[in-house]
């Protein structure tokens, strides 16, 4: 292998996935620069053996205990201000920067835009893959473009936000460009004044009122952090990967059926006429909330979150997920899809 990259054999991924699952990768390589990524993809052996691109491992389920091939962990760190005016600032951020540290940095600078996305685990370079979203804001609202290394040619490509085709937990990187490129940096635009603050979603407004605070990027971030800490398990204490399933889009007829079961069934009308149902509600109604089989379980407070109580294996978590999918299908005739990426 003619490469300067450090290649590790038989590498444990336990510390590299927030489920805390034990899985041994045949090979593990870390890239600290765009050039490292280019070296990797231009090495025929490494490129063809790539089995997993890994950021913070907070949106993957390792479904096996051994992963053949090569894992490439992107650890590119840099933060660059591209240009600024009195109204806005444009920045370019390396794919390996931790997402929440980056959000805090924008707040320290007094910039607005990322506050509702506080405390989401993972890395900046992975955020565009599923167009992360929370509390009424998506990456789509602040991202202006993405740089990536093409695996076939080793050249650096750039997609504007429009070309990224962001959708609900979706982007071109999950479709046409899936497995074809490695994201290396992301561009953002933030406001410096006249911030577009969003407090209407979830209990953000209540949290601000309770704290006696007026909305600002910083106070909204604090509110979001407080809400998240009260609702979601901390992966450092209880292995999980956040929402395990996507909220399904269903027809009006399917939604009427849910309302016949419970008049308060949550559903959000979408522009195309479909209804976005709540996967967590379906799982709870099917009786899975708090369920535990061995060390694999459904969180007691948040049915959308599957958890590893300590020694669960990837196959055990995946088996539980499949049982939930089958049960929800049988009871409500609705197909749930994992939001997490299945690997193995
Ligand atoms: C407690 C908790 C709460 C969460 N809350 C939210 C939330 O509110 N909203 C939300 O949207 N998500 C949430 N998530 C999911 C997760 O944090 C995000 O999806 C995050 O963007 C994943 O980042 P990561 O670096 O950990 O990605 P990883 O899990 O490492 O990778 C995710 C996918 O991206 C691919 N990938 C990784 N790096 C690259 C790269 N450089 N180029 C191309 N592809 C790559 C991987 O192969 C994989 O398919 C939560 C997760 C947890 C554990």
Residue ranges matching CATH 3.30.43.10 in the chain: 7-74
User: Distance (Å, rounded) from C-alpha 328 to C-alpha 270?
Assistant: 22
With a 6 Å cutoff on the Cβ, whether 34 touches ligand 1 is: no
Kind plus residue range of the DSSP H or E element containing 103: helix 99-108
- Pick the residue whose CA is nearest to atom 4 on ligand 1: 242
CATH class belonging to 7-74: alpha beta
Give this prediction's pTM. Answer: 0.93
Give the pLDDT confidence score for residue 1 in this predicted structure: 40
Residue ranges matching CATH 3.30.465.10 in the chain: 79-231
Ligand 1 nearest-atom number relative to CA 240: 53
Residue-wise pLDDT for 281-334, tens only, equals 999 999 999 999 999 999 999 999 999 999 999 999 999 999 999 999 999 999
Instruction: List for the chain the helix, strand, coil content (%; round to 5).
Output: 30, 30, 40
Give 120-180 as a DSSP string.
--SBGGGTTTTT-EETTEEGGGTEEEEEEEETTT--EEEEEHHHHT-BTTB-GGGTTTTTT
Distance 48 CA to ligand 1 centre (A): 23
With a 6 Å cutoff on the Cβ, whether 133 touches ligand 1 is: yes
- Pick the residue whose CA is nearest to atom 14 on ligand 1: 242
Q: What's the Cα-to-Cα distance from 103 to each of 116, 119, 169, 259, 288, rounded to whole Å? A: 9, 8, 19, 39, 34
Ligand 1 nearest-atom number relative to CA 60: 29
Residue-wise pLDDT for 164-192, tens only, equals 999 988 999 999 999 999 999 999 999 99
Ligand 1 nearest-atom number relative to CA 232: 1
Residue-wise pLDDT for 17-64, tens only, equals 999 999 999 999 999 999 999 999 999 999 999 999 999 999 999 999
Phi-psi region of 131 (alpha: psi -120 to 50; beta: other; left: phi over 0): left
Catalytic residue positions, numbered: 169, 243, 339
CATH class belonging to 79-231: alpha beta
User: Distance (Å, rounded) from C-alpha 172 to C-alpha 163?
Assistant: 8
pLDDT bucket at 118, cuts 50 / 70 / 90: very high
Instruction: Locate the DSSP E strands across 151-266.
Output: 156-160, 181-191, 239-243, 249-250
With a 6 Å cutoff on the Cβ, whether 122 touches ligand 1 is: yes
What is the four-CA torsion angle of 45, 47, 50, 54, rounded to 10 degrees?
130
Residue ranges matching CATH 3.90.78.10 in the chain: 239-343
Residue-wise pLDDT for 229-243, tens only, equals 998 899 999 999 999
What is the residue-averaged pLDDT of the chain? Answer: 95
| CATH tag, 239-343 | 3.90.78.10
Among 21, 63, 72, 126, residue to substitute to test ligand 1 (most atoms within 8 Å of Cβ): 126
Distance 245 CA to ligand 1 centre (A): 13
**Mean pLDDT throughout 154-161?**
98
With a 6 Å cutoff on the Cβ, whether 232 touches ligand 1 is: yes
């Amino acid at each position: 292998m003619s490469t300067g990259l450090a290649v590790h054999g038989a590498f444990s991924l336990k510390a590299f996935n927030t489920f805390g699952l034990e899985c041994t990768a045949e090979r593990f390589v870390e890239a600290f620069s765009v050039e490292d990524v280019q070296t990797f993809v231009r090495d025929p052996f490494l490129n063809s053996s790539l089995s997993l691109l890994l950021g913070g491992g907070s949106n993957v389920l390792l479904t096996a205990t051994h992963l053949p091939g090569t894992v490439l962990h992107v650890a590119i760190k840099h933060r660059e201000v591209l240009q600024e005016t009195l109204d806005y600032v444009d920045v370019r951020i390396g794919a390996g920067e931790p997402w929440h540290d980056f959000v805090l940095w924008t707040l320290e600078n007094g910039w607005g835009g990322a506050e509702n996305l506080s405390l989401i685990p993972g890395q900046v370079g992975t955020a565009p893959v599923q167009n992360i979203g929370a509390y009424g804001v998506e990456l789509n609202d602040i991202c202006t473009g993405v740089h990536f290394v093409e695996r076939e040619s080793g050249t650096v490509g750039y997609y504007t936000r429009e070309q990224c085709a962001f959708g609900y937990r979706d982007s071109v990187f999950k479709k046409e460009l899936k497995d074809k490129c490695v994201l290396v940096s992301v561009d953002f635009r933030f406001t410096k004044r006249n911030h577009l603050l969003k407090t209407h979603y979830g209990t953000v407004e209540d949290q601000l009122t309770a704290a006696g605070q007026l909305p600002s990027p910083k106070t909204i971030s604090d509110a979001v952090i407080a809400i998240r800490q009260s609702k979601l398990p901390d992966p450092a204490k209880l292995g999980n990967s956040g929402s395990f399933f996507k909220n399904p889009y269903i027809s009006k007829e399917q939604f009427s059926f849910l309302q016949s079961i419970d008049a308060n069934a949550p559903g959000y009308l979408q522009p195309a006429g479909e209804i976005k149902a709540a996967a967590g509600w379906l799982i709870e109604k099917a009786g899975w909330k708090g369920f535990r089989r061995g060390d694999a379980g459904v969180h007691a407070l948040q049915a959308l979150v599957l958890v590893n109580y300590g020694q669960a294996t990837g196959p055990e978590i995946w088996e539980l997920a499949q049982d939930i999918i089958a049960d929800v299908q049988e009871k409500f005739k609705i197909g749930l899809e994992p939001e997490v990426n299945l690997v193995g």
